C-alpha cells in the first residue's frame, strides 16, 4: 500500500515538474498591440545606441583596430538611423490617428520594465517603480 502511494506521489511530482516542458505558449503571433510595437522600436533604438557606445569604448581601449571600427561603426549607425526612422513613422502615424479623437488618452509605459501604465496609476503594477508624471 505504501509503495503505491510513493509511486503515485512520484508520478504527481514528475507531472508537475514536466508540465511546462510539454505546453506550448498561448501567445498569438499576429495579435500585437501598437504600444508593443512602439516599445520594441524604442528598445531597438536604445540597443543601437548602447552598441555604438560599446564599440567606441572597445576602440579607445584597443580591443579592435581602426578598419574594424570604421566598418562596425557605419553598420551600427545605419541600423540606428533605420530604427529611428521607423520609430518616427510609428509616432507620426499614431499621433495622426489620435488627433482625430479628442477623448483618446496618451498611452504611458514604465521606464523600468516597459509595461503599460493605466491612467491614474502612481506606481507600475509590474515592477513597483514610481511613475513619472
Decide: 76 and 48 in contact? Cβ < 8 Å.
yes
Sign of CA dihedral 121, 124, 129, 132: negative
Q: Locate cell 479628442: which residue?
A: 102
pLDDT value for 47: 92
pLDDT along the chain (133 residues), means of 10: 92 92 66 70 90 94 93 91 88 65 62 78 80 74
7: left (phi over 0), alpha (psi -120 to 50) or beta: alpha
pLDDT value for 11: 95
Q: Locate cell 561603426: which residue?
A: 73
pLDDT value for 112: 76
pLDDT value for 103: 45
**Bridge partners, residue 109, by sequence:** 116
Decide: 109 and 124 in contact? Cβ < 8 Å.
no
Sign of CA dihedral 6, 7, 8, 13: positive
pLDDT value for 133: 67
- In this structure, what C-alpha cell is assigned to residue 36? 508593443
Q: What pTM, to 2 d.p., does this model score?
A: 0.47
pLDDT value for 97: 59
Cα–Cα distance, 74 to 97 (Å, whole number): 35
Amino acid at each position: 500500500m505504501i509503495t503505491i502511494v510513493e509511486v503515485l506521489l512520484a508520478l504527481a511530482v514528475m507531472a508537475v515538474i514536466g508540465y511546462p516542458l510539454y505546453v506550448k505558449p498561448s501567445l498569438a503571433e499576429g495579435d500585437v498591440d501598437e504600444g508593443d510595437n512602439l516599445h520594441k522600436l524604442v528598445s531597438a533604438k536604445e540597443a543601437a545606441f548602447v552598441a555604438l557606445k560599446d564599440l567606441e569604448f572597445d576602440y579607445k581601449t584597443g580591443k579592435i583596430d581602426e578598419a574594424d571600427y570604421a566598418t562596425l561603426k557605419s553598420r551600427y549607425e545605419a541600423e540606428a538611423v533605420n530604427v529611428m526612422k521607423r520609430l518616427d513613422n510609428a509616432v507620426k502615424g499614431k499621433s495622426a490617428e489620435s488627433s482625430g479623437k479628442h477623448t483618446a488618452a496618451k498611452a504611458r509605459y514604465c521606464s523600468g520594465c516597459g509595461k503599460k501604465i493605466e491612467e491614474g496609476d502612481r506606481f507600475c503594477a509590474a515592477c513597483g517603480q514610481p511613475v513619472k508624471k
